[in-house]
Copies of this chain bind each other. A is one copy, B any other.
Amino acid sequence: MSTMTTPVETMPDVQSSVDTRRIPIQKVGVKDVTYPMLLQTNTEVLPTVAEWELTVALPAEEKGTHMSRFLELLEQYRAQPMSMSRFCQMTAAMLGLLNATEGDVTATFPYFMNKVAPVSGVASLLDYQVSWTANAMATVDDEADVQFELTVLVPVTSLCPCSKAISQYGAHNQRSHVTVSVVGHPEHLQLDSLIQTIEAQASCELWGLLKRTDEKYVTERAYENPKFVEDLVRDVAVAISQMKGVEGYRIEAENFESIHNHSAYAVVEG
């Protein structure tokens, strides 16, 4: 077979040649990689499946990066429980593996919380989309500075204050996505309490399984607690800015309006 006749050391290594265009590349790597992850929470190891993006910066004089090494990194870490701190260490290790001075890793995955319905007490899981992003910069002593960002998309109910105020009965409400990114040290950020803090600011939180007594509760709770999309992002901002370990935040809310075929949308950064 032809592949047997070419020893690897005699193959041309195009990526390693010198580039003369004088254009450094901020990010080069792999994207849309689906790979499993053993999520390490405070209390347990939860297997999940993540979408990964791994990139490094490429200096102007280098022609190409070594794409296969990103997959080697994923393969090397996949059997190990992955905490947010471990994720930052993996990003720092990528710099050495790729001979790079800067690099980014993002993993996006479904996460579940076990929730108890508010009246009946029946238990079920609710799913959230979580992203971790780490940026590593090499330092002079061959170490790396790593910045970490935790993002979570929390689905909630929003109920319109204007609709309630002007109508004799009822008020339009809908599912909304509140997406919060927080910057901080990975050992000081708490995913579960971040989710609970966000849910507490909504007109009502969601559950997977609700019995009729619960449905009465969530209906009335949302009606008693109307919020504009502006209220959602502001109330979440007030609550998040008081959380321990949060050094910066970005809050985005999108209401899939039940009375329109478009969304109401707001963003606050602080």
A19 proximity list for chain B (CB < 8 A): 230, 234
Q: Please name the residue on chain B nearest to A114 by beta carbon.
A: B75
B260 near A165 with CB under 8 A, answer no
Q: Please name the residue on chain B nearest to A230 by beta carbon.
A: B64
Shortest Cβ distance from residue A208 to the other chain B in the assembled complex, whole angstroms: 5
B259 near A172 with CB under 8 A, answer no
A170 near B211 with CB under 8 A, answer no
A233 near B25 with CB under 8 A, answer yes
Q: A267 vs B47: C-alpha distance in the bound complex, in angstroms?
A: 31
Shortest Cβ distance from residue A155 to the other chain B in the assembled complex, whole angstroms: 5
A235 proximity list for chain B (CB < 8 A): 21
Q: In the complex, which of the residues B11, B110, B216, B270 contacts A6, with contact meaning CB atoms closer than 8 Å?
A: B216
Query: Which A residues, 72 to 107, have Cβ-Cβ distances below 8 Å to chain B?
Result: 72, 74-75, 78
A8 near B230 with CB under 8 A, answer no
B174 near A261 with CB under 8 A, answer no
Q: Please name the residue on chain B nearest to A173 by beta carbon.
A: B258
B209 near A163 with CB under 8 A, answer no
Residue A28 interfacial (CB < 8 Å) = yes
Q: Please name the residue on chain B nearest to A36 by beta carbon.
A: B112
Chain A 108-128 near chain B by CB (<8 Å), digits 1 or 0 = 001010000011001111110
Q: A26 vs B235: C-alpha distance in the bound complex, in angstroms?
A: 15
A8 near B126 with CB under 8 A, answer no
A210 near B265 with CB under 8 A, answer no
* Contact of A11 with B267 at beta-carbon distance under 8 Å, contacts A170-B220, A220-B3 already known: no
Q: Interface-forming stretch among A139-147, A187-195, A221-229?
A: A221-229
* Contact of A68 with B211 at beta-carbon distance under 8 Å, contacts A166-B216, A238-B23, A256-B256 already known: yes
B172 near A222 with CB under 8 A, answer yes
Other A-B contacts than A15-B162, A23-B233, A75-B123, 10 sampled, CB-CB below 8 A, are A11-B216, A12-B165, A15-B228, A30-B262, A72-B122, A167-B220, A170-B173, A171-B219, A172-B218, A218-B259
**10 closest Cβ contacts across the A-B interface?**
A170-B223, A47-B47, A31-B265, A71-B209, A34-B127, A167-B219, A28-B266, A33-B262, A27-B267, A3-B217
Mark A residues whose CB is within 8 Å of B.
Answer: 2-3, 6, 8, 11-15, 19, 21, 23-36, 46-49, 53, 55, 58, 63-65, 67-68, 71-72, 74-75, 78, 110, 112, 118-119, 122-127, 155, 157, 159-163, 165-175, 204, 206-213, 215-220, 222-223, 228-231, 233-235, 237-238, 254, 256-270
